[in-house]
Amino acid sequence: MTQDSTTSLRQEFAATIGDRAPSPWRPAFAAVPRDLFVPEFYQQDERGRWYRVTRSDRDYLRSVYSDTALMTQLDAHGIPTSSSSEPGLMLRMLDALNANPGDTVFELGTGTGYHAALLAHRLDAKNVTSVDVDAELVALASQRLNEFGVSPFVHTGDGALGYPPRAPYSRVIATAALRNIPYALMEQAADNAVIIAPVGFGVTRTTVHAPGHAQGRFLPMPALFMPRRVSGNGPDFGGARGQAPESTALPVADVLDRWRFPLSLALPGFSSCSWRSDDGVLIGVGLWTEDGSTATAHTNGQVRQIGPRRLWDTVEELASLFPAGRPVREDFGITITPDTQRVWYRRPDGPSWTLPIE
Ligand SMILES: C[S@@+](CC[C@H](N)C(=O)[O-])C[C@H]1O[C@@H](n2cnc3c(N)ncnc32)[C@H](O)[C@@H]1O
């Protein structure tokens, strides 16, 4: 494919990603070649096995210039550890960031460098700082950013610590899922800074209104980001099997769909799985958190729980709070103070969940 047809692919891509609403970021999506930052990625076949897609594959360019997240790094267990996020979601998050030339921007999660390139293209590259925990990714991103001709400041480290030498930042954006808004980022945020950060399966937009204090709401769109890398325990299904069964009247098959978003706030960082019979019928779901708490629920209504937290009890509480399931994200907000971070429903004094602070 020639350079010209890539240009027109990019233009069509930039015009159609997300909800097609006007955005000052569309020209950046038209200008920055996503293929330069994502020369290869991984896809799963129908049996869940990963295979590599490279430039020489027929559908490579079509996939790169489509509104999909592309997995770019897998760990030894085949779990994705880095990706180029869904462009439409990036666009909506950038819109919400409300950044303009002159703003100093901090990005947590450099990954491929594509998002940093979008920032550097529309804003002043010298005011853009991007940090990733993975040195290899940072080296590759930096090489590709140079090749594209922009030079934001990229750095290897834990993005939750920010990067004090270049603070304060008037805009902060995280492209990895967080358990809370890291306090170092609050400290490095300027007055009235806007912070966009995925928390649970949603994206928060907060404004700093006094040192250490911020408040805001969740954006309407769903978001499933790679979690910020931390270590923790796996599920204890064996232990759960040994527990006496309790019973639930909840529709087990719907739990992970209808209450997934509030669950991600009430049980930060939870993981889940489901089991199916040979003919594909759902027979149960499992939930666990990194402290080793585990719950299983069978579609016959039997629940088993083990560990320091009774995870299924939280599911029951959320189901009674949101009986219709699927509450909308923009009804949730977040209040940050130097001592606590709370996510609330509808009003700051409504039902709320305290986020863990590491
Ligand atoms: C969805 S990817 C980011 C995509 C990236 N913005 C892009 O345009 O390609 C999430 C990234 O967050 C990084 N990450 C995870 N934990 C981190 C941490 N504690 N500090 C900084 N980066 C982290 C991962 O290495 C991964 O590259």
Per-residue pLDDT reduced to its tens digit, 157-198: 999 999 999 999 999 999 998 889 999 999 999 999 999 999
Alpha carbon of 70 to those of 36, 63, 303: distances in Å?
Answer: 13, 8, 36
Spans in the chain with pLDDT lower than 50: 1-2
Instruction: Report the distance separating Cα 103 and Cα 218, nearest Å.
Output: 22
**Secondary structure string (H, E, C) spanning 38-53:** CCEEEEECCCCCEEEE
Atom of ligand 1 nearest to the CA of 107: 6
**Ligand 1 pocket test: which of 73, 108, 119 has the largest number of ligand atoms within 8 Å of its C-beta?**
108
- Confidence at residue 234, expressed as pLDDT on a 0 to 100 scale: 81
Domain-embedded: residue 298: yes
- Confidence at residue 273, expressed as pLDDT on a 0 to 100 scale: 87
β-sheet bridge partners, residue 178: 199
- Confidence at residue 3, expressed as pLDDT on a 0 to 100 scale: 54
Domains: count for the chain: 2
- Confidence at residue 239, expressed as pLDDT on a 0 to 100 scale: 94
| Measured distance between the N- and C-terminal CA atoms of the chain, rounded to whole angstroms | 49
- Confidence at residue 230, expressed as pLDDT on a 0 to 100 scale: 55
- Domain match, 17 and 110 both: yes
- Confidence at residue 228, expressed as pLDDT on a 0 to 100 scale: 54
Widest distance between CA atoms in the chain: 65
Domain-embedded: residue 71: yes
- Confidence at residue 12, expressed as pLDDT on a 0 to 100 scale: 96
- Confidence at residue 2, expressed as pLDDT on a 0 to 100 scale: 46
Return the CATH number at 198. 3.40.50.150
Domain-embedded: residue 224: no
* Tens digits of residue pLDDT in 295-319: 999 999 999 999 999 999 999 999 9
Segments forming the whole domain that contains residue 299:
237-321
What distance in angstroms lies between residue 309's CA and the mean position of ligand 1's atoms? 29
Give the binding-site residues of ligand 1, using a 6 Å CB cut-off.
81-85, 108-109, 111-112, 114-115, 131-134, 137, 158-160, 175-176, 225-226, 228-229
- Confidence at residue 304, expressed as pLDDT on a 0 to 100 scale: 98
